Amino acid sequence: MTAILLKSPEEIEIMREANQIVAQALALVRKNIVQGISTLQLDKLAEKFIREQKAVPAFKGYRGFPGSLCVSINEQVVHGIPSKKVKLREGDIVSIDCGVKYKGYYGDAAITVPVGTIDQDTEKLIAVTRESLQKAILQVQSGNKVTDISTAVQEYVEKNGFSVVRQFVGHGIGQNLHEPPEIPNYVRKERSPKLMPGMVLAIEPMVNAGTADVRILKDGWTVVTQDKKPSAHFEHSVAVTENGPLVLSSGTED
């Protein structure tokens, strides 16, 4: 098992700066989510902003991914590729996942946003996914275990009649975009790492309206629900401190 890297307070401060760039990029994209805009236009807006902050889009070129954002609409769960052909429509929901590299460290966060008016069931899906992340963050306490985070998400999501995606999980983050430990949104049977001050976790519930089953499209990236029902995704990068959770990417909800 690869070692979990603990960050110093100075490193966490740089990661907070990186994540604040992410939060501001997401806020900018959110403002521009309107009917008729293409997902590539949103991507270009975010990339321009990120580079103006002297940061680099973390996803662009990552294992060959072509975009600065992952833009996933309706039944798309994560890793949607930005496209000039794909335009947002009234009633869609769109999940925006954004990462940056800044001063050698990564930031990563995600939001799900409605396009205009959406139906009540889909509103509930977004609300429950966002709330499950908040409940997960409350478990980021020194001495707790990763499984406490997983339990908080799974119990809340399933109590509300939705399902959590199992094939994709949250992760540690630092000088690499993905570091140990994995942060599943469901309870696994194996031993779970203990949370210690200096750990930084990208916690990201992916919640489906229907079953948990997903598949990857032929583009090799876009993950969709098997039953074509909508999915929502929220993510924060959170540091474990002696005084509880420190949400480095706070501000994405503004």
131 is in an annotated binding site: no
- DSSP for 46-111, written as a single string: HHHHHHHTT-EESSTTGGG---SEEEEETTEEE-PPP-SS-B--TT-EEEEEEEEEETTEEEEEEE
Segment (H or E) for 159: helix 146-159
Look up residue 160 and give its DSSP letter: T
Closest to 20 in 3D by CA, of 199, 250, 214: 250
Do residues 100 and 15 touch, judged by C-beta distance below 8 A? no
Report how far Cα 27 is from the mean position of its chain's Cα atoms: 14
Closest to 166 in 3D by CA, of 179, 148, 153: 153
The residue with tokens 């750990």 is 199
Other CB atoms within a 10 A radius of the CB of residue 121 amount to 12
Burial 147-164 (b: 16+ CB within 10 A, else e): bbbbbbbbebbeeeebbb
Look up residue 243 and give its DSSP letter: T
171 is in an annotated binding site: yes
In angstroms, the CA 4 to CA 172 distance is 8
13 is in an annotated binding site: no
SS3 193: coil
Output the CA angle 81-83-86, nearest 5 degrees: 110
233 is in an annotated binding site: no
227 is in an annotated binding site: no
179 is in an annotated binding site: no
- Residue ranges for the known binding site for a divalent metal cation are 97, 108, 171, 204, 235
- Residue ranges for the known binding site are 79, 97, 108, 171, 178, 204, 235
- Residue ranges for the known binding site for substrate are 79, 178
